[in-house]
Amino acid sequence: MRAGFLGPAGTFSEEALVATAPPGAEPVPFATVDAVVRAVDAGEVERGLVPIESATEGSVDATLDALVDAPGVAIVGEVVRPIAHALIARADRPLEEIGTVASHPQALAQCAGFLRTSLPWATPVAWSSTAEAVLEVAARSEPWAAIGTPRAAKLYGCAVLREGIEDHDGNVTRFVWVAPGGAEPARDGAPASKTSLAFWGAGAAEPGWLVRCLSEFAFRGVNLTRIESRPRKDRLGQYLFFVDLDGAAGAERVDAAIEGLRAHCDEVRILGAYQAA
């Protein structure tokens, strides 16, 4: 099985994939989360593992957008992993010499307190992934540093200046396994216990529309564990909504709630039913 991830080697996504993929899986790096999802949709890889939610920074918008844009792809499992960041440079050097810190925007945000107190003079620069930032630092003679994994530092011949620089001890990220629609769940034989949905509709401009949508779950005793809104991108003020709920699509109460939701929406899309981490 070929499994896509946000690359290159040395990202937190690769660490999560290697730790949880079935034996014999071949990791395949891609430049963006969107590229991972599209590769699954196109059949270039059989599975993909992408970050969807951080305990400290919330949803990964690129993943939510990619899932909506690829209706042929479904979530088939989830993984929750602790995230410990390291400050990495081309060679060992005092922090006072560092003028720029590069990393993925989520990593920069998760270490904002460290950067503010320990490197207030350094300029943060967003990069496509933590490992790409380490690669960039390895190639530069300027006093740059990156935030990434100790494994990336080792892979690319860099030095770890500080470890554990994340602002919160409970810093974890939720990753989801994605596969072509109809594929087997990531944990064979385990019953689905969680469902993810996306929905939107013209009625969103009417007073109480969202309350009516959510009441379809409340009145049937279906618990929502997460709700998120994202712009629909076709018009200002138009949104779509993502929800995670306890229970599997196929269960009577869940199916009834989803059917009730359809009465209020232009579209309701089941993003996946899978075993909760």
Written as tens digits, the pLDDT of the chain (277 aa) is 999 999 999 999 999 999 999 889 999 999 999 999 999 999 999 999 999 999 888 899 999 999 999 999 999 999 999 999 999 999 999 999 999 999 999 999 999 999 999 999 999 999 999 999 999 999 999 999 999 999 999 999 999 999 999 999 888 999 999 999 876 665 555 678 899 999 998 777 788 999 999 999 999 999 999 999 998 887 777 889 999 999 998 889 999 999 999 999 999 999 999 998 8
User: What's the CATH architecture for 194-274?
Assistant: 2-Layer Sandwich (3.30)
CA proximity to 119, closest of 146, 142, 156, 138: 146
Q: How many CA atoms are closer than 13 Å to the CA of 246, on its beta-carbon side?
A: 7
Residues 33, 67: Cα–Cα separation, whole Å: 10
pTM of the model: 0.90
- Is 2-83+172-180's fold the same as 86-163's? yes
Domain ranges of the chain: 2-83+172-180, 86-163, 194-274
Domain 86-163: give its CATH code: 3.40.190.10
Following DSSP, what letter does each residue of 98-140 receive, concatenated?
Answer: --EEEE-HHHHHHTHHHHHHH-TTSEEEE-S-HHHHHHHHHH-
Give me the CATH topology for the region 2-83+172-180. D-Maltodextrin-Binding Protein; domain 2 (3.40.190)
Site of tokens 């993502």? 242
Q: Prior bond to 8 cis, omega within 30?
A: yes
Overall residue count recorded for the chain in this entry: 277
